[in-house]
Amino acid sequence: MEVIETPDKMIAWARNHAVLGRKNVLVPTMGYFHEGHLSLMRMAREYGDDVVVSLFVNPIQFGTNEDLSRYPSDFDRDAELAEKEGVSVLFSPSTDKMYPAGFQTAVTVEHLSRHLCGAHRPGHFTGVTTVVVKLFHIIRPDFAVFGQKDFQQLAIIRRMVLDLNMGVEILAHPIVREQDGLAMSSRNIYLDKDQRASALSLSKSIELACELFQKGIRDTTRLGEKVSAFISSHAGTDIDYVGFVDSNTLEFVSEADNSTRLLLAVTLFNKVRLIDNGLLAGFS
C-alpha cells in the first residue's frame, strides 16, 4: 500500500492508473477506523482494481463548538488496517495542502442540506460536499463508497453527483453495528460504559418505532413522541432531532409508509453527538 500525502502526487498516481485502464474506487474517511470503515473498503474492492482510501479530518465541516481539535486519530493503526484490507493507496493530505492560503470556493447542495443535521450544524454539509468534490477531482474515482449511517450525507452527495454530472457511481453500504445494536462510530470512543448504555437508546428507539409501525401506527407525530420519550428516559440524552422522512426524497412525512425512514441525532452528556437511522419497515 502506498501512502500519498499531497494532492499533486495523488493526481499523478490517478492519471497513471487511468492510462493503464485500471478502475479505482474511493472510500472517503476521517480515519480512526472501525469495522464500519473496513466493511466499506471490502465493498470497494469488489468494484474496481484499486481501492483508494482518503484519510482527512476535514476542518471546514466542523462548527466552532464541535470536536475538531479532539477528533480521535491513530495513523499507524489506520495504515495497518487499510493495508490488511488490500487498499492500494491511503491518501492522507495535510490541511494546508487541501486548503492552501487563499482558498475560497464552496459547493452547496441547497435544499437537501437545510433540514435534519443541516439545521443543527450550519455549514456542515457545504464542508462535506466541498471536500468530496476536491477528492473526486484529485482521485478521479469510477466509484465511491459511502455509509448509510450518514444517510443525509449520502443523499446530498448523490444529488451533487447528478446535478454536476460528475460521473462517479455512488455506492451505499448498510450501517455496521456493534453486537448490541449501537451504530459503529469513531466517536463511540468518547463514551464510558455507563454513557454507552444511554447511547444504545438511539438504535433501541428505532426498534421501538419499527414495532409501533408494524402494529399499524402511521402518524409520525405520535411515533415521534414515543421515540423522543424513550430516548429522553435515558440519562444524559439531549435530542437534536427525531425526523421521519421519505427514504428517496428526504422530505418529512406525516403518515409513515414502507419507504419511511427514522433519522435521529442525539447529544450525549454534552459531549458526543451521535446519529442513527433505520427504515421503519425493516430495521436490522
Residue 150 is a binding residue for ligand AMP (CB under 6 A): yes
How near is the Cβ of 260 to ligand AMP at its closest, in Å?
Answer: 20
CB closer to ligand AMP out of 185 and 220:
185
Q: Which of these ranges, 179-187, 218-226, 230-238, 249-257, lies near ligand AMP under the rule CB under 6 A? A: 179-187
Kindly state whether residue 185 participates in binding ligand AMP, applying the rule CB under 6 A.
yes
Binding footprint of ligand AMP, residue count (CB under 6 A): 16
Minimum separation from the CB atom of position 185 to ligand AMP (A): 6
CB 149 within 8 A of CB 36: yes
* Residue 4 in contact with ligand AMP, rule: CB under 6 A: no
- The answer to whether 183 contacts ligand AMP (rule: CB under 6 A) is yes
CB closer to ligand AMP out of 29 and 113: 29
- Report the C-alpha gap between 114 and 185 in whole angstroms: 23
Query: 32, 8, 17, 34: which is closest to 93 by C-alpha?
Result: 8
Q: Report, in Å, the least distance between residue 22 CB and ligand AMP.
A: 23
Catalytic residue among 17, 34, 37, 124: 37
Task: Choose the stretch contacting ligand AMP; rule: CB under 6 A; options: 86-94, 160-168, 181-189, 202-210.
Answer: 181-189
d(CA 170, CA 86): 20
Q: How many Cα atoms within 13 Å fall on the side-chain side of residue 24?
A: 29
What contacts 101, CB < 8 A, 6 or more positions away? none
CA triple 63-65-71, angle to 5 deg: 80
Pick one of 175, 209, 265, 272: the residue that binds ligand AMP (CB under 6 A): 175
Extract the runs of DSSP E, i.e. beta strands, from the chain.
Answer: 2-4, 24-29, 50-55, 89-91, 143-147, 169-173, 237-246, 260-268, 272-279
Stretches 15-23, 30-38, 88-96, 209-217: which one binds ligand AMP (CB under 6 A)? 30-38
147 binds ligand AMP (CB under 6 A): yes
Binding of ligand AMP by 195 (CB under 6 A): no
Phi/psi of residue 262, nearest 5 degrees: -95, 125
In sequence order, which residues have a C-beta less than 8 Å from that of residue 196 and are 6 or more positions away? Answer: 182, 188
Given a contact cutoff of 8 angstroms between Cβ atoms, the answer to whether 151 and 112 are in contact is: no
User: Residues 39-68: x/- map of binding to ligand AMP (CB under 6 A)?
Assistant: -x----------------------------
Whole-Å CA distances, 146 to 18, 26, 208, 231, 269:
22, 9, 26, 27, 28
Position among 92, 186, 237, 260 found at the interface with ligand AMP (CB under 6 A):
186
C-alpha span between 13 and 7 (Å, rounded): 10
Active-site annotation holds for 37: yes
The yes or no reply on residue 184 touching ligand AMP (CB under 6 A) is yes
Residue closer to ligand AMP, measured from CB, 15 or 75: 75
Catalytic residues: 37
Which residues of the shown chain bind ligand AMP in the complex (CB under 6 A)?
Answer: 29-30, 36-37, 40, 146-147, 149-150, 173, 175-176, 183-186
